[in-house]
A and B are shown apart, each in its own frame.
Chain A
Amino acid sequence: MRTPNQSAFHKGTATMQIKPILSALRKHRLATLLIALEVALACAVLCNACFLIASRMEAMNIHSGVDEAALAQITLDCDDCNANDVNARVLSGLGKLPSVQSVSVINAVPFGNHAGTAGITLDAAGQHSGGVVDFYVAGPGSFEALGLQVVAGSAPAQGDFQAVENFLPADASVWVTRALAGHLWPDESPLGKEFWMGKYHFRVAGVLAHFARPGGGEGGPSTREWSVFVPALPGKQLTNNYLLRADPAHLQQVLRDARAAIASIVPEAVLDQQASRTIGELRDSYFQADRAMAGILVGVIVALLLVTALGIVGLASFWVAQRRKQIGIRRAIGATRGDILRYFQTENFLIVTFGIALGMLLAYVINAVLMKFYELPHLPLYYLPMGALALWVLGQLAVLGPALRAAAVPPVVATRSV
């Protein structure tokens, strides 16, 4: 399709058209203003809705840092059980199931429930806060099972796994994520650095490429990977939550078998049905609300564009009907069908452009209001030309039908009275 701005600005005859169009529009100020306002609102909502969708999608694409496709979690509620006995029975019982690659004990998994959220400090006295992080307290085998990638230091060795005292080992070597290390020690090597949580003392033994905390961080997206991996020995304080690793192709079957087997392995425990799922399923349900919201936003955008197009079609049809006689006269004194078509296309382009100009301002106002109420960054500038382009295309498509009908008006109309 020939775009109207080409015809308007690059052809000698077309430049002549702008003036009469403007004076015609001046006679229909009210209707022009209405369409322009509608386009402006549509442009503003479109830009912001697209931006919201994009930020949701970005949150959903988070890299958890673990081999999600190969992992599942088994969670028990077993308050009065002998933890060491239960751990031993579960580890050996589930380990015997066909296709299971490994079973280990861990306090939480990405997209599962929070288990160890606490504030840390960079000094023993607790004066210099390091922020609120999530501690993954995990038994032997879990590091390999998760598939964590070490970028500095080495993987945990057997001696790093220590007994848990209440919540964490009292003095432990830990692995932090690159994101957390960058936050705590921006310009230094994190290896060997120390931090504290109350009386618990930690020393960084390695840095992980990625490892998302179980749920969203309190401080927003930038804290999403503030995780600490703490090697620990299973026991009274580290029990009831198990990490299963299997070939991704057999994971569903392994999970079904494991869920069924728990009843005979630990008859005294209750299986947590909600939590005992694959990491993939946990991830899906974690982002369910975001997905639903993105779906609603897409629906709104479609309906919005549709209604705007309807408005343009309606008003353009009215104008075409109103100007049948003038169109006939123009045809009779030599205007081609193309000229008439371009007239209506150019007219629409001008109105939509006016609307877009208003809409860009409005988009920024709406964004500012949203930023006040929600955790949202500034609307990136490139959304504006994209929104403008979408509305120009929409306007041209909507006006095409009425404009073609106008172009089809025969010159003979000029000679008839209405």
Chain B
Amino acid sequence: MFGYYLDLALRSLKRNKVLTVLMVLAIAVGIGASMTTLTVMHILSGDPLPGRSAHLFYAQLNPDIARPHAKEPAYVMDYHSAMDLWGAHRADRQALIVNSAIKVVAPESAVPPLQLDMLSTTTDFFPMFGVPFHYGSGWSADDDAQHARVVVISDDLNNKLFGGANSVGRTLRLGRSDLHIVGVLKPWRPAPLFYEAWGNYTRPQDVMTPLTSGLEINDGHFMQFTCWDMPSTPGHLQNAPCEWVGLWVQLDDAAKVSAYKQFLGDYAAQQKSLGRFTSGVTRLRSLMQWLDYLGVVPDDVRLQNWLAFAFLAICLFNTIGLLLAKFLRRSGEIGVRRALGASRAAIFAQCLVEAGLLGLLGGIGGWLLTMAGLWLVRRQPTDYADLIRLDLPMFLATFAVAIATSVLAGVLPAWRACRVAPALQLKAL
């Protein structure tokens, strides 16, 4: 029966080509616009570490004595608190996050000096976030403790400075210090850059050093996230009234999560009673909760998404109207089929098949327009431009949404069509 309906639908679509093209075009434009923005949303709001993110938590507390009544803790913490929490080793794994800019030169390479962002962190960073290595590996806890002059570099920087060769064992000069390369990453592009409190889609840093070493080699060049009083020595923040260090912990089961929450709360309460804090507020957000709190998906992208769906709704109304016109114009034909014994359900099904076929055609057009739309998005000067592509789920979703909306649009016209009174139509013939 389905084949027969399909045949009828094809004939009907061929009969009035202009109307068919109008309808397919309307569906295609609506689907193209909404799937473009939906794909961007899907990519930007995705999980940067699928499989791991559920066990990763970001610890926050409020060291800012000038905000005693703040409902939310600070985005990052002061050095003192970060070292206390880290030193307690209460989590399965833990990583401190500090950022600074530094001049980078490879003495063996002819590439001129580069000013790059340096991530200073601790040994667990690599296994905890599943960072893939091309050559070598991360550094050890011993390296952290001994302020070892070691560095891990990105695939990008390795290509730039060493032509992609295995550079483990070579020397890299950061500022005035010579560091030993111990690891080269594979291309790694978590999106968003979740471990930073900026909430954006920039690439991970090109050079990564142990925190203990980083603080020494780039002393005087650390930037605060914010301060509640002037630091006495700008750029040297270890004892400054400033927030600038992030702390990530890995907690493998629920009991550990609640235990860590307790530990964090107790620490803040203790600091408050000691007079170092004025607020006891703390948060332990999971990775996805943290991204949600930061609001990483840009406002403009959300706005475009709203717009696109309003647009799809207009296209839907349009399709309903046109299908209604199309089906009712064929009242005579429907009357004959009814008189020859077709049930109302059969007419209804036939109309929906026709609507679905329109949806499929509109979906093909919509897919092409989505590709064009994504190409436009990639040409925008955004941090995330290189991430935007149509993956398989979104490709399938394009057709699913196209067919679903057009079948939905077809329900009302089909219901009207199947209620056509055969006798009246036959008399008119």
**Complex contacts, B322 vs chain A, CB 8 Å:** 311, 314-315
Could you mark each residue 242-283 of chain B with 1 if its beta carbon is under 8 Å from any beta carbon of chain A, else 0? 000000000000000000000000000000000000000000
A382, CB-defined interface residue at 8 Å: no
Q: Are A77 and B29 in contact (CB under 8 A)?
A: no
A303, CB-defined interface residue at 8 Å: yes
B387, CB-defined interface residue at 8 Å: no
> Which A-B residue pairs are the 5 nearest by beta carbons?
A318-B325, A311-B318, A38-B317, A77-B115, A34-B321
Secondary structure of the B side of the interface? helix
Q: Are B317 and A37 in contact (CB under 8 A)?
A: yes
Total interface residues on A, CB under 8 Å, equals 50
**B398 to A: closest C-beta gap in Å:** 17
Could you mark each residue 13-54 of chain B with 1 if its beta carbon is under 8 Å from any beta carbon of chain A, else 0? 000000100110110011001000000000000000000000
Known contacts A80-B176, A292-B380, A374-B299: A321-B314 contact under CB 8 Å: no
Q: Are B416 and A30 in contact (CB under 8 A)?
A: yes
Q: Are A42 and B314 in contact (CB under 8 A)?
A: yes
Q: Are A167 and B230 in contact (CB under 8 A)?
A: yes
B428, CB-defined interface residue at 8 Å: yes
**Complex contacts, A317 vs chain B, CB 8 Å:** 19, 325
The CA-CA distance from A296 to B322 in the complex, in Å, is 27
**Complex contacts, B302 vs chain A, CB 8 Å:** 373
Give the residue of B112, B175, B326, B382 whose beta carbon is less than 8 angstroms from that of A289: B382
Could you mark each residue 288-316 of chain A with 1 if its beta carbon is under 8 Å from any beta carbon of chain B, else 0? 11001100110010011011101101110
B113, CB-defined interface residue at 8 Å: yes
B381, CB-defined interface residue at 8 Å: yes
The CA-CA distance from A136 to B114 in the complex, in Å, is 27
Known contacts A307-B30, A314-B325: A270-B176 contact under CB 8 Å: no
Chain A residue at minimal CB-CB distance from B104: A270
**Complex contacts, A307 vs chain B, CB 8 Å:** 26, 29-30, 311, 314-315, 318
**A228 to B: closest C-beta gap in Å:** 16
**Can you add 9 more A-B contacts, CB < 8 Å, to A41-B310, A293-B303, A300-B311?**
A198-B230, A270-B115, A293-B304, A296-B304, A303-B33, A304-B311, A310-B318, A314-B23, A318-B325
Could you mark each residue 169-202 of chain B with 1 if its beta carbon is under 8 Å from any beta carbon of chain A, else 0? 0000001100000000000000000000000000
**Complex contacts, B220 vs chain A, CB 8 Å:** 79
**B235 to A: closest C-beta gap in Å:** 9
Known contacts A34-B317, A314-B22: A374-B324 contact under CB 8 Å: no
Q: Are B22 and A310 in contact (CB under 8 A)?
A: yes
In the complex, chain A residues 229-275 whose Cβ is within 8 Å of any chain B Cβ: 237, 270, 272
A322, CB-defined interface residue at 8 Å: yes
Q: Are B313 and A315 in contact (CB under 8 A)?
A: no
**Complex contacts, B307 vs chain A, CB 8 Å:** 45, 49, 297, 300
**Complex contacts, B30 vs chain A, CB 8 Å:** 307
B216, CB-defined interface residue at 8 Å: no
Give the residue of A42, A288, A303, A373 whose beta carbon is less than 8 angstroms from that of B29: A303
Q: Are A289 and B300 in contact (CB under 8 A)?
A: yes
**Complex contacts, B304 vs chain A, CB 8 Å:** 293, 296
B234, CB-defined interface residue at 8 Å: yes
**B7 to A: closest C-beta gap in Å:** 24
Q: Are B324 and A31 in contact (CB under 8 A)?
A: yes
Q: Are B320 and A34 in contact (CB under 8 A)?
A: yes
Chain B residue at minimal CB-CB distance from A77: B115
18 A–B contacts, CB within 8 A, in A order: A34-B324, A37-B317, A38-B318, A41-B313, A45-B307, A79-B220, A166-B230, A166-B234, A199-B230, A270-B103, A270-B112, A289-B300, A304-B314, A306-B29, A307-B30, A308-B318, A310-B25, A315-B321
Q: Are A38 and B321 in contact (CB under 8 A)?
A: yes
Known contacts A272-B115, A300-B307: A31-B313 contact under CB 8 Å: no
The CA-CA distance from A272 to B303 in the complex, in Å, is 34
The CA-CA distance from A319 to B114 in the complex, in Å, is 70
**Complex contacts, B380 vs chain A, CB 8 Å:** 288-289, 292
**Complex contacts, A370 vs chain B, CB 8 Å:** 303, 306
A368, CB-defined interface residue at 8 Å: no
A207, CB-defined interface residue at 8 Å: no
Known contacts A41-B310, A167-B230, A307-B315: A79-B175 contact under CB 8 Å: yes
Q: Are B311 and A314 in contact (CB under 8 A)?
A: no
Known contacts A272-B115, A314-B19: A41-B317 contact under CB 8 Å: yes
**Complex contacts, B326 vs chain A, CB 8 Å:** 318
B69, CB-defined interface residue at 8 Å: no
**Complex contacts, A49 vs chain B, CB 8 Å:** 307
Could you mark each residue 141-156 of chain B with 1 if its beta carbon is under 8 Å from any beta carbon of chain A, else 0? 0000000000000000
**Complex contacts, A303 vs chain B, CB 8 Å:** 29, 33, 311
Chain A residue at minimal CB-CB distance from B101: A77
A1, CB-defined interface residue at 8 Å: no
Chain B residue at minimal CB-CB distance from A49: B307
Q: Are B314 and A45 in contact (CB under 8 A)?
A: yes
The CA-CA distance from A45 to B23 in the complex, in Å, is 21
**Complex contacts, A321 vs chain B, CB 8 Å:** 329
In this complex, the member of B308, B317, B320, B380 whose beta carbon has the largest number of chain A beta carbons within 10 angstroms is B317
The CA-CA distance from A387 to B113 in the complex, in Å, is 56
B221, CB-defined interface residue at 8 Å: yes
Could you mark each residue 364-388 of chain A with 1 if its beta carbon is under 8 Å from any beta carbon of chain B, else 0? 0010001001100000000000000
